[in-house]
Amino acid sequence: MGKDKLKRFAEIATFDNVIELDNGKILKSQWAQTHFKNNNPVILELGCGKGEYTVNLARLFPEINFIGVDYKGNRIWRGAKTAIEENIPNVAFLRIQIENLLDYFTEKEITEIWITFPDPQPQISREKKRLTSPRFLEKYKTILKKGGPIHLKTDSDLLYAYTKEKIEELGLKVHVITNDLYKSDLVDEVLSIKTYYEKKYLAHDKNINYLKFSFE
């Protein structure tokens, strides 16, 4: 591991807005009350990377709590540091494997989920690792409040098509769907937030897919 990564890992251990591994388990069912010290809704960004969506959503909606979830601490460092520097209190980052979500959140604890530019895991052998596979969707169904939406933004046409297929197979409700977000009339202050990776894709004129769906 490079010196910069080691430095960032050491630094996030001192951040009050970063919770790592087992330390997050004691907050299960108590994220709003115990960590954020309020009773506001909690929204997750899964595979948050540098945390651009988490931080920008928190800026737009100070009355909502946002948690970015990722395993790579050197990426989380950027979003967490920005939130500290700008004194954004409604942001937290949880460093865990996403497959372990049910160890950290209880039933109906989460209002909404964002999945922004995840690894599409294109190999057939890695389908179960796709964040919109039935394996993960079952976990989301457990922790989401009734009617809570899931948002997917992705440059991957494969992941977009795969997710549409699973939504149809499982009989889920589609609210919004487009295979070219920035050529649609859907873009607002939320959907116009761009991650580091999204900016790279757009620079190469890549279409951006967007899906908003729920379990009921």
Catalytic residues: 119
Q: Are strands 65-70 and 150-154 parallel, antiparallel or unpaired?
A: unpaired
| Cα torsion angle, 199, 203, 209, 212, sign | positive
Question: Do you know the residue count of the chain?
Answer: 216
The 173-178 sheet, strands edge to edge:
18-20, 91-95, 65-70, 42-46, 112-116, 150-154, 209-214, 173-178
Rounded to whole angstroms, the Cα distance separating 7 from 30 reads: 30
Q: Provide the 3-class DSSP secondary structure of residue 63.
A: coil
